[in-house]
Structure 1
Amino acid sequence: MAFRCQRDSYAREFTTSVVACCPAELQTDAGGKKEVLRGFHVVLEDTLLFPEGGGQPDDRGTINDIPVLRVTRRGAQADHFTQTPLSPGSQVQVQVDWERRFDHMQQHSGQHLITAVADHLFGLKTTSWELGRLRSIIELDSPSVTAEQVAAIEQSVNEKIRNRLPVTVRELSLDDPEVEQVRGRGLPDDHAGPIRVITIEGVDSNMCCGTHVSNLSDLQVIKILGTEKGKKNKTNLMFLAGNRVLKWMERSHGTEKALTTLLKCGAEEHVEAVKKLQNSIKLLQKEEPSLLQFHSLTSTWISCLFPLSRKEGDSEFMNIIANEIGSEETLLLLTVGDEKGAGLFLLSGPAEAVETLGPRVAEILEGKGAGKKGRFQGKATKMSRRAEVQALLQDYVSTQSAEE
């Protein structure tokens, strides 16, 4: 006989009786730290909590509000590990952690659907699968799966979800001729009782002990995250189903918002902005000897001018350098671009000096700019006049030093 959780995967609580309770131990591994818990294996007349099996993790829940830390199958019965004993013969109320259960139902039924579609469309056979904590993995018996195949599988499974195909559970006896027509990877050695067959109408029939949705519409949506090389010429396909897709989108949206704030650009420009940052870092690394020399100068001079010009770079590159080595006592002139053409410039330093000199720098370079708080930057059309700018700034520094 199947457990109550297998007969009705949507049941959240029910009453049953305790058959047995004996001392037991549970090995745990939390954050790499192994620990042995002492407690009890409780056997119930029937159970609402699914024991681990078929690639699906076990349920969590309570028996009379006592937490169940593990559920394992032993032949035709389930052992519930608790740290509080329960009296044999007593009536108990069993409740399942519904969020965890429904998540497992969505992932498991999603795996059945993907497996059937991948086989039907491309002859890609599933050899194993894993229902992970954050994502699930289907191992396909193929050394490679193309991006086009992945896209076709994803499109097909979501069409079937929108078609609201029913999912039914039947029990067959071992000698039923229909068993030979049902897909499956064999039964465990200690299997007892009838064989459960999960059928997605018009799509697939498969032997399975797990909990499943009753209609594909409960899967909501399936997102295939991609593939990676597996073991022994296999390919691993990673996917999310149902609420996991929504949580993944929430995390991705949060990351997108954070990047938008950091990069100061829209989401569609994130990749290009990161590429520019990478290029700026490479250029900055090339400037390390000059920057070290500058730091040596500023350690002995109260006020100085540090000019730096490079053909390659952008405004982000200049801002990185200004943030790294700029100070309120030093005039820093940065330019990027072809000396014979147009380019960009940045002047930073004492706020009063930058406010006075910034517009004059833009005028000499025949460009436009703006500034605030000790920084003035803009575009120039005559980079060939950079020497005039440097002379202007040097005269200002010399005048200031003489007055001091």
Structure 2
Amino acid sequence: MAFQCQRDCYMKEFVTSVVSCCPAELKHEVNGKKETLKGFNIKLQDTILFPEGGGQPDDHGLIGDVPVVRVTRQGADAVHFVGSPLEEGQEVQVKVDWERRFDHMQQHSGQHVITALAENMFGYKTTSWELGRQRSTIELDTPSVKPAQLQALEEAVNEKIRVHTPVTVQLLSIDDPAVEKVRSRGLPDDHAGPIRIIDIEGVDANMCCGTHVSNLSHLQVIKLLGTEKGKKNKTNLIFLTGNRVLKYAEKSYSTERSLVSLLKTGPDEHVEAVDKLQKSVKLLLKTNLSLLRDMAVVITQNFKNDPRRGNFFSLHKKEGDNEFMNIIANELTTEGTLVFLTVGEEKGPGLFLLAGPSERVATMGPRVLEMLQGKGAGKNGRFQGKANSLARRGEVEAFLEQQCKQQEE
């Protein structure tokens, strides 16, 4: 069957009834972490909430006052996952998250237009596409797209928008001869009911289950952001449609205003200003590293020249790095000295190095690693790695100093 959301993509509210309600679980991603939610699968008599398919994500919305977390298709049915049960036979009002739905309609219809014209103009077939959260991508079956072709394609798709090209939906039986004439990547194995054709007048007729605008003027504008290298001999074309273009322009202008304030230059000079800053930073880093190396040499010489020096050396340097520690270790471990070095924030994360006689380092290294809550390994008289916290550095130093005294005794 065709759902109400497919018969009327612009319907925002709909009254229907609950057919079934069953306990269920859903693997769901929240803030980048996968969680298993307990809830219920709801089947309705009909729905205006689109189940994911055809490259288009599912709709969000409400059944009564219960939020719908996910909508999927199972054969001829749409299954709505919710957190609270609903009574079978109960009449309910379904509401769609219209901002999300209309965004998906714009991106999906925009994809159809771009796909059709890319093939008609240059022979580039679409092999897949992705409707992303911020921007969408079409995979074209070509190693590259020339800048002039990209510009011509953008002009062509926007011309179709300017002339108010109609978009219609046809429902055909699977044995209708017209089905053979439309573009398609095949039907899913569990497809049931009529074949749905999205017809963009004079541009494209394509088999599709997704929600679409009724006229290309509703797309407002399409912006082709550029291309990226895709899979073998493929090119990914990145695009925005409609409201996403407006949001992109607003965000870009806000960024531009911030850069004007930070760089003290006009927008046309931003690239040059950042390039100069990067070169200055590289020079400063190079100078800083050179000074750190010189400092490491001076530190080791002062220790060697101190007549009261023992067989233990410890140092923390906030601005140091691995090379700084290794220079010191290389100079001092030849003297049979146990060396404990750390760099980074005093009570935050950082790097550490324990160096000296192999047997002592191998014995003490794991204990140091434990106290610093770090990750690392050791061999040949060196034990080093990353510390999650240097807050216990003083305890480590006291422990090592005690071990050295015991060794002397």
TM normalised by structure 2 equals: 0.70
Q: How many residues align?
A: 295
Determine the C-alpha separation between the residues in 2 that align with 1:198 and 1:290: 66
Please state if 1:281 is matched with 2:281. yes
Cα distance, 1:276 vs. partner? 2.0
Percent identity of equivalent pairs: 70
Determine the C-alpha separation between the residues in 1 that align with 2:263 and 2:62: 47
User: In the alignment, what sits opposite 1:4?
Assistant: 4
User: In the alignment, what sits opposite 1:82?
Assistant: 82
Equivalent residue runs for 1:4-403 within 5 Å: 4-285=4-285, 287-288=287-288
Determine the C-alpha separation between the residues in 2 that align with 1:225 and 1:244: 12
Determine the C-alpha separation between the residues in 1 that align with 2:167 and 2:197: 10
Q: 1:143 aligns to what SS in structure 2? A: coil
Determine the C-alpha separation between the residues in 2 that align with 1:231 and 1:141: 9
Cα distance, 1:90 vs. partner? 1.1
> Does the C-alpha gap of structure 1 residues 290 and 101 become closer, same or farther in structure 2, counting only changes over 3 Å?
closer
Q: 2:210 aligns to what SS in structure 1? A: coil
User: In the alignment, what sits opposite 1:374?
Assistant: none
Cα distance, 1:32 vs. partner? 3.4
The more displaced of 106-115 and 21-30 is 21-30
Determine the C-alpha separation between the residues in 2 that align with 1:15 and 1:287: 71
> Does the C-alpha gap of structure 1 residues 179 and 269 become closer, same or farther in structure 2, counting only changes over 3 Å?
same
Determine the C-alpha separation between the residues in 1 that align with 2:286 and 2:31: 42
Q: 1:271 aligns to what SS in structure 2? A: helix
Cα distance, 1:35 vs. partner? 1.2
What is the identity, as a one-letter code, of the residue corresponding to 1:134? Q
Determine the C-alpha separation between the residues in 1 that align with 2:85 and 2:282: 64
User: In the alignment, what sits opposite 1:319?
Assistant: none
What is the identity, as a one-letter code, of the residue corresponding to 1:54? G
Determine the C-alpha separation between the residues in 1 that align with 2:289 and 2:115: 58
Cα distance, 1:278 vs. partner? 2.4
What is the identity, as a one-letter code, of the residue corresponding to 1:30? V
What is the identity, as a one-letter code, of the residue corresponding to 2:233? N
The more displaced of 29-38 and 64-73 is 29-38
> Does the C-alpha gap of structure 1 residues 89 and 227 become closer, same or farther in structure 2, counting only changes over 3 Å?
same
Q: 1:69 aligns to what SS in structure 2? A: strand
Cα distance, 1:140 vs. partner? 0.5
Determine the C-alpha separation between the residues in 1 that align with 2:226 and 2:198: 26
* Deviation by residue 1:160-184 (Cα, 9 ceiling, x = unmatched): 1111101000101111101110001
Cα distance, 1:275 vs. partner? 1.9
What is the identity, as a one-letter code, of the residue corresponding to 2:82? T
What is the identity, as a one-letter code, of the residue corresponding to 1:210? G
Determine the C-alpha separation between the residues in 2 that align with 1:284 and 1:139: 43
* Deviation by residue 1:132-153 (Cα, 9 ceiling, x = unmatched): 1111110111111111111111
Cα distance, 1:33 vs. partner? 2.0
The more displaced of 279-288 and 159-168 is 279-288
> Does the C-alpha gap of structure 1 residues 116 and 292 become closer, same or farther in structure 2, counting only changes over 3 Å?
same
Determine the C-alpha separation between the residues in 2 that align with 1:55 and 1:271: 37
What is the identity, as a one-letter code, of the residue corresponding to 1:248? Y
Determine the C-alpha separation between the residues in 1 that align with 2:115 and 2:209: 16
> Does the C-alpha gap of structure 1 residues 175 and 292 become closer, same or farther in structure 2, counting only changes over 3 Å?
closer
Cα distance, 1:286 vs. partner? 5.6
Cα distance, 1:285 vs. partner? 4.5
Cα distance, 1:281 vs. partner? 2.8
> Does the C-alpha gap of structure 1 residues 161 and 88 become closer, same or farther in structure 2, counting only changes over 3 Å?
same
Determine the C-alpha separation between the residues in 1 that align with 2:43 and 2:235: 40
User: In the alignment, what sits opposite 2:312?
Assistant: none
User: In the alignment, what sits opposite 1:392?
Assistant: none
Q: 1:148 aligns to what SS in structure 2? A: helix
CA-atom RMSD in angstroms: 1.8
User: In the alignment, what sits opposite 1:390?
Assistant: none
Determine the C-alpha separation between the residues in 1 that align with 2:25 and 2:200: 39
Q: 1:110 aligns to what SS in structure 2? A: helix
Q: 2:276 aligns to what SS in structure 1? A: helix
> Does the C-alpha gap of structure 1 residues 266 and 180 become closer, same or farther in structure 2, counting only changes over 3 Å?
same
What is the identity, as a one-letter code, of the residue corresponding to 1:252? S
What is the identity, as a one-letter code, of the residue corresponding to 1:123? G
Determine the C-alpha separation between the residues in 2 that align with 1:30 and 1:285: 39
Cα distance, 1:288 vs. partner? 4.4
Moved over 3 A (4+): 282-293
Q: 1:88 aligns to what SS in structure 2? A: coil
Q: 1:227 aligns to what SS in structure 2? A: strand
TM normalised by structure 1 equals: 0.71
Determine the C-alpha separation between the residues in 2 that align with 1:188 and 1:279: 55
> Does the C-alpha gap of structure 1 residues 7 and 289 become closer, same or farther in structure 2, counting only changes over 3 Å?
closer
Cα distance, 1:218 vs. partner? 0.5
Cα distance, 1:272 vs. partner? 1.4
